[in-house]
Amino acid sequence: MSLNQLDGHTILIGLMAYPIRHSMSPTMHNHAFEKLGLNYAYLAFEITNDGLEGAVNAIRTLDMRGSNISMPNKQKIIPLLDKLDPATEMIGAVNTVVNDHGVLTGYTTDGIGMIKSLDDEGINIRGKKMTLAGAGGAGTAIAIQCALDGVKEISIFNRDDEFLAQAQRNVDLINEKTDCKATLHHLEDQDDFKKEIDDAFIYADATSVGMNPLEGQTLVSDPSWFRKDLIVFDTVYAPRTTKLMEVAEEAGVEHVFNGLGMMLEQGAAAFKLWTGKEMPVDYIRDILFNGDN
């Protein structure tokens, strides 16, 4: 369905957040709808917490198929929905809503996207140990989803800030509700940090370090901390190559990833929830990034 063929049957999907005009999601989803000939349209709406209840009611009233949800609404939307999928209930934040005939279910696809992006590269983290920095939105989604999907052990590091309590909550929830063993660690303990990276199959950084305004910074600056066969994953995708990735490359690490694949695959997972179809991810990657930086 081309964009100029929208008609009376077109199904609407939203994005409700503030600020949101910079988002790549409308481009991503509308091109995917067009490529697959699906009669859907995806529009961004600037919605703050104040307008959220009205916006959620509009999903039902307008019979929208669903919406993406981003800051500042990811947690505030929960009481306004009818159901949460079990992983999302544990994560405590929603980035995707699906409307099934007036019944609204909340999902979080960031962790799914992270795991899928590694699967796409032939890397299976199930049964392995992960050392993870960060317990904000991305870190929580990754930790909980990885624990539910079969990662054997997760060492969660956070600095002593307002996210440390969330890191403790993630560890407690994982130990209580999954077969994964989680432990809490403090970023300030550098010896412990080095040891846990050394013991891990994958080191994932889900902190804001490395992206603007912390661009050029990294939690690990010594290449000797990284084995060549470690997987190094940074959730940041702008810039495309972070300082952490440069350090890993200097160490000769073979598998070093930014967050681009995760971003595309979290969108693809939402796309599948709404349409039942696979997003043409490679096609969309070319459209969004066109090979440049």
12 vs 123 by CB, closer to ligand NAD: 123
Give, in order, the Cα–Cα distances in Å from 131 to each of 8, 35, 139, 161, 243.
Answer: 50, 38, 11, 19, 18
The footprint of ligand NAD (CB under 6 A) covers: 110, 113, 134-139, 158-159, 161, 163, 187, 206-209, 211, 214, 235-237, 259, 262-263, 266
Residue of 35, 74, 194, 243 marked catalytic:
74
| CA 65 centroid distance within chain | 21
CA dist., res. 289 & res. 20, Å (int): 19
Least separation, in Å, of the C-beta of 261 and ligand NAD? 8
Nearest to 14 by CA among 52, 142, 35: 52
Q: How many CB atoms lie within 10 A of CB 123?
A: 16
Least separation, in Å, of the C-beta of 219 and ligand NAD? 6
- Give the CB-nearest residue to ligand NAD: 136
CA dist., res. 185 & res. 187, Å (int): 7
Burial 241-263 (b: 16+ CB within 10 A, else e): ebbbbbbbeebebebbbbbbbbb
Q: Which two tokens stand for residue 277?
A: 């179809």
Handedness of CA 137, 114, 228, 213 (dihedral sign): negative
Classify 252 in phi/psi space as left (phi over 0), alpha (psi -120 to 50) or beta. Answer: left
1 vs 139 by CB, closer to ligand NAD: 139
Q: Does residue 74 carry a catalytic annotation?
A: yes
Least separation, in Å, of the C-beta of 123 and ligand NAD? 16
1 vs 77 by CB, closer to ligand NAD: 77
CA dist., res. 211 & res. 216, Å (int): 8
Least separation, in Å, of the C-beta of 100 and ligand NAD? 25
Least separation, in Å, of the C-beta of 171 and ligand NAD? 13
CA angle 86, 89, 92 (to 5 degrees): 150
99 vs 185 by CB, closer to ligand NAD: 185
Cis peptide before 239 (omega within 30 of 0): yes
47 vs 64 by CB, closer to ligand NAD: 47
104 vs 220 by CB, closer to ligand NAD: 220
Residues with catalytic roles: 74
